[in-house]
Chain A
Amino acid sequence: MLSRTADNLFWASRYVERADFIARLLDAALRLSALPTSYGGAGTGWESAIACSGSAALFYERYGDASEAAVRYFLAFSPENPSSIRSCLEIARANARAVRTALTTEMWEAINDAWNQLDRFGRGEHMGREEYGEFLEWVKGVALAFDGSARRTMLRNDAYWFLRLGGAIERADDTARILDVKYHVLLPESERVGGGLDYFQWTTILREVSALTAYRWVYRDSVKPWLVADLLILNRQMPRSLASCYDTMVRNLDMLGDAYGRRGPSQRLARNVLARLTGSKIEGVFQSGLHEYITDFLSDNAKLGQTLAEQYLV
């Protein structure tokens, strides 16, 4: 397969995944903003969404503070923000179009329809919260349709594996970024038993990655910070956890290696990261420093992106 084709597939799915993540961040902020301000809800939800989106620097260059209107526009519709939902869908579609024939009709229609329909939401200025919420649901639906079409219609060959790799590496990055921004509220020292503020912060984190229900099923316990960290970092059953993303990466990289008859630095690196994740206990992670652990992970994940590009995509 042409390296450029693999590159386009990888980035198409990466950007669809990012659009989905930004929609989830905004959804969590929207829910928080509905809480009374005494819970520390209203203002901080939007700030947190900007911080977790990874585009804080760009945002504060343009806006003085994280007002609801500014964040809602910047993260969803701004063409100046390369990670806004609009930009993500645009880039994903451009990548998909360049490799139109490597995609199934269903996948192409999912992303092309999304791009065509995006205009009907305009710049989102006149949307009430409810309407904005519906828009976010629509974005998540686009990601589901794209991902679902890939799973249901694509041949299981290298094209499919590159697509899965793009999604998994982005997802790992997204989850780690949330943890990186919010690690301080997860630290045991900061726990105030029954403190309303922390409780809402923890549940927000879980909501941002659609894990609130999963948490209850797995731990059958009230929301505790170290368990939240355990779920999002180490639990291999949780589809957005770092360990689960690396399960997916290792599996798909191995299939590539087998099909091409050669494994290389990407396979080794991914396997090492997975081994570190599966070898960790959450107590140990806290002892050696949650922040350091996440920072190391983010740098490994970025390095894997680079290694993978050098090995296959250029």
Chain B
Amino acid sequence: MTPGQYNSAFYEHSFLADKLGIELVEGTDLFVRDEVVYMRTTEGPQRVDVIYRRIDDDYLDPLVFRPDSALGVPGLMGAYLAGNVTLANAVGTGVADDKAVYSYMPEIVRFFTGADPILPNVPTWRCREPEALTYVLEHLAELVVKKVDGSGGYGMLVGPTSSTTEIEDFRAKLKAEPESYIAQPTLALSTCPTFVESGVAPRHVDLRPFVLTGGDGMRITRGGLTRVAIKEGSLVVNSSQGGGTKDTWVLDR
């Protein structure tokens, strides 16, 4: 289920649906009758059992969440609560995406495995803690500050590349709502030769690996998604802000 062709990730949605051989639906393709979800097809209504949704919680069902949502399906949550449809991911799983949760990863790893994590965390300050907030406010020009529930590279400050005004504006927001922010040191992202309008030039990239978990344990997929920031000097690689992707090569040792 996609928000539609104007979403920056629409191509990905349509590619996935094509490769998986499943229907790519928008909210208006579905309707709920007697707490059961149906799809509008050329052969009449067809029952839907599982929805892999790429729409945020807030927009999923106008009867339960944002009433002005035109992307969702009225009654979908009712069908879900009645056990007639499975949503992947379930509503509320976004909490795992909360950036403050990340700061607890070392403790989480120790709790579940009894061992120290192999990969160290990026040092993270939780701004709701007074000492952390004081430190962050003093070092705003060096840090990256992110909203805990933010995504897509929005609502964040990259200190070293921001103007004094931008930093001061952000300082006001941070003071007003410190519990909504975390801060990290600015990482030196690698660069990669990238074809841009003026020719080939270095642009910052990051790598997103994919780890699958299931009945037979964990598996790391080969390769991954390399994201590239198209704007010169930018560290924001998110596709919703014009970031691109690159092929990822994994070489045998």
- Residues of chain A touching chain B, judged by Cβ–Cβ distance below 8 Å, are 1-4, 6, 94, 97-98, 100-101, 158, 162, 256, 260, 262, 312-314
Chain B at the A interface: mostly helix, strand, loop or mixed?
mixed
Mark interface residues in B75-95 (1 if CB within 8 Å of A CB, else 0).
000000000000000000000
B17 touches A2 (CB 8 A): no
Measured CA separation A221–B150 after assembly (Å): 76
Residues of A within 8 A of B43 (CB): 1, 260, 262
Distance in Å: Cβ of B119 to nearest Cβ of chain A: 37
Of the residues B5, B15, B39, contact of A2 by C-beta under 8 Å: B39
Chain B interface bracket (under 10, 10 to 19, 20 to 34, 35 or more):
10 to 19
A1 touches B24 (CB 8 A): no
User: When A and B form their complex, what is the total count of cross-chain residue pairs whose Cβ atoms lie within 8 Å?
Assistant: 37
B17 touches A4 (CB 8 A): no
- The answer, yes or no, to whether B198 is at the interface (CB within 8 Å) is no
- The answer, yes or no, to whether B129 is at the interface (CB within 8 Å) is no
B29 touches A4 (CB 8 A): yes
B42 touches A158 (CB 8 A): yes
Chain A at the B interface: mostly helix, strand, loop or mixed?
helix
B17 touches A101 (CB 8 A): yes
Mark interface residues in B1-34 (1 if CB within 8 Å of A CB, else 0).
0000100000000110110000111101100000
Known contacts: A2-B29, A4-B26, A97-B5. The answer to whether A260 contacts B42 by CB under 8 A is yes
B41 touches A2 (CB 8 A): yes
Measured CA separation A4–B25 after assembly (Å): 9
- The answer, yes or no, to whether B40 is at the interface (CB within 8 Å) is yes
Select from chain A the residue with minimum beta-carbon distance to B15.
Answer: A101
Select from chain B the residue with minimum beta-carbon distance to A100.
Answer: B14
Counting chain A CB atoms within 10 Å of each CB, the highest count among B15, B24, B26 belongs to B24
A3 touches B42 (CB 8 A): yes
Select from chain B the residue with minimum beta-carbon distance to A261.
Answer: B43
Of the residues B18, B28, B42, contact of A6 by C-beta under 8 Å: B42
Residues of A within 8 A of B23 (CB): 2
Select from chain B the residue with minimum beta-carbon distance to A98.
Answer: B5
Distance in Å: Cβ of B92 to nearest Cβ of chain A: 28
Measured CA separation A94–B43 after assembly (Å): 24
Measured CA separation A2–B40 after assembly (Å): 6
Mark interface residues in B163-188 (1 if CB within 8 Å of A CB, else 0).
00000000000000000000000000
Counting chain B CB atoms within 10 Å of each CB, the highest count among A1, A94, A256, A313 belongs to A1
- Residues of chain B touching chain A, judged by Cβ–Cβ distance below 8 Å, are 5, 14-15, 17-18, 23-26, 28-29, 39-43
Measured CA separation A312–B45 after assembly (Å): 11
Residues of B within 8 A of A256 (CB): 42
Residues of B within 8 A of A262 (CB): 43
Counting chain A CB atoms within 10 Å of each CB, the highest count among B23, B24, B40, B42 belongs to B42
Known contacts: A3-B29, A4-B28, A98-B5. The answer to whether A312 contacts B40 by CB under 8 A is no
Nearest 5 pairs between A and B by C-beta? Answer: A101-B18, A3-B40, A312-B42, A6-B42, A1-B42
Residues of B within 8 A of A2 (CB): 23, 25, 29, 39-42
Residues of A within 8 A of B5 (CB): 94, 97-98
Of the residues B15, B18, B40, contact of A4 by C-beta under 8 Å: B40
15 residue pairs from A and B, CB less than 8 Å apart: A2-B39, A2-B40, A3-B29, A3-B41, A3-B42, A4-B26, A4-B29, A4-B40, A94-B5, A97-B5, A158-B42, A256-B42, A260-B43, A312-B42, A313-B42
B40 touches A101 (CB 8 A): no
Beyond A158-B42, A314-B40, list 15 extra A-B contacts (CB 8 Å): A2-B29, A2-B39, A2-B40, A2-B41, A3-B42, A4-B26, A4-B29, A100-B14, A101-B15, A101-B18, A256-B42, A260-B42, A260-B43, A312-B42, A313-B42
Residues of B within 8 A of A314 (CB): 40
Of the residues A101, A162, A260, contact of B14 by C-beta under 8 Å: A101
Counting chain B CB atoms within 10 Å of each CB, the highest count among A4, A260, A262 belongs to A4
Distance in Å: Cβ of A294 to nearest Cβ of chain B: 31
Measured CA separation A98–B41 after assembly (Å): 16
Measured CA separation A257–B14 after assembly (Å): 28
Distance in Å: Cβ of B73 to nearest Cβ of chain A: 14
Residues of A within 8 A of B40 (CB): 2-4, 314
Distance in Å: Cβ of A292 to nearest Cβ of chain B: 35
Measured CA separation A101–B26 after assembly (Å): 15
